[in-house]
Structure 1
Amino acid sequence: MTTLSEISTRQGWMGLLARSAPARLASLYADLPPHDMLRPPEIGSVMVRGRMGGTGQPFNLGEVTVTRCVLRLSSGEVGHAHVQGRDKAHATRAAVVDALMASPAAETVLQQVLQPLHAEETARRAARAARAAGTKVEFFTLVRGEDQ
């Protein structure tokens, strides 16, 4: 889980944008500034690797569809994005936000786009953890008289 300070790093905000719901990102940042496509959104696939138990030998789990995009704002900043799925608009919007985070508008974008996305993701994860905690089973043993 990312913390609020981690979304101030490029890795943090790129992950948050990739995990965000496309419709929610569009509602938070509707009007895109002028930009030139350096690499228009293109759909492809990447190999997902896994490890047994998190520490075992890596193995190929399967392929996942991704959309990538690279663009340049009219002010010169370059933005990149890779998002899961086939949503070209999501990749474009995420690349614009990435570019804006390298511009003087970074603080505004952080407050108006990234912080609300982070708060919603944190609430979603907490709700999921609470639902999972409701299924937790506590085991205990009783001490019998002859066992002492």
Structure 2
Amino acid sequence: MSGTDQAIGTRPGWMGLLARAPVGELARLWDDAALGDPAHDWLRPPETGAAMVRGRAGASGAPFNLGEMTVTRCALRLADGREGHAHVQGRDKAHARRAALADALMQGPEADAVRDRVLAPLAEAEAARRAGRARRAAATKVDFFTMARGED
């Protein structure tokens, strides 16, 4: 299974991908996919708040509160009863709405269209961004070594 398939093959994978997606890119892909505006009722309309971000020293130390970040969340129900949920960084309510709609549509017959036209391009773009960051970081790597001086 490729990295793209892993990113969109499970609900946590696609929800994370939608949350990390650049707002403009998600909006463009959504419009290009012609998924429209499915009828829905709000279970929780988009609302903005704060979430505590936790960290660990060295990725294994004791957890500590790093600080707060702004998040927007929402939940909706499509006319056929499917529910979609989203939590996204920032204050963009349209981003949260699109992510929740995509989550709901992924649970029905539209899943293949959403996966192929929205999620797969988002996953590929994210992989390219990560690879670019890795290349830039690798370019700054310094290899240290010790030479034997010949003295025993």
State the TM-score, normalizing by the size of structure 2.
0.91
RMSD between superposed Cα atoms in Å:
1.3
Give the match's secondary structure for 2:70.
strand
Give the match's secondary structure for 2:147.
coil
Over 6 Å off, 4+ runs: none
1:87-111 Cα deviation digits (max 9, x unpaired): 0000000000000001111111111
Contact 1:39–1:71, Cα closer than 8 Å, also in 2: yes
Tell me whether 1:98 sits opposite 2:103 in the alignment.
Answer: yes
Per the TM alignment, residue 35 of structure 1 is displaced from its structure 2 partner at its CA by 1.5
The number of residue pairs the alignment matches comes to: 146
Counterparts of 2:147 and 2:4, CA distance in 1: 45
State the TM-score, normalizing by the size of structure 1.
0.94
Matches within 5 A, 1:1-148: 3-6=3-6, 7-30=8-31, 31-145=36-150, 147-148=151-152
1:69-100 Cα deviation digits (max 9, x unpaired): 10111222110000000000000000000000
Letter aligned with residue 3 of structure 1: G
Structure 2 residues not aligned, in runs of 5+: none
Q: Percent identity over the alignment?
A: 62
Letter aligned with residue 104 of structure 1: P
Contact 1:68–1:83, Cα closer than 8 Å, also in 2: yes
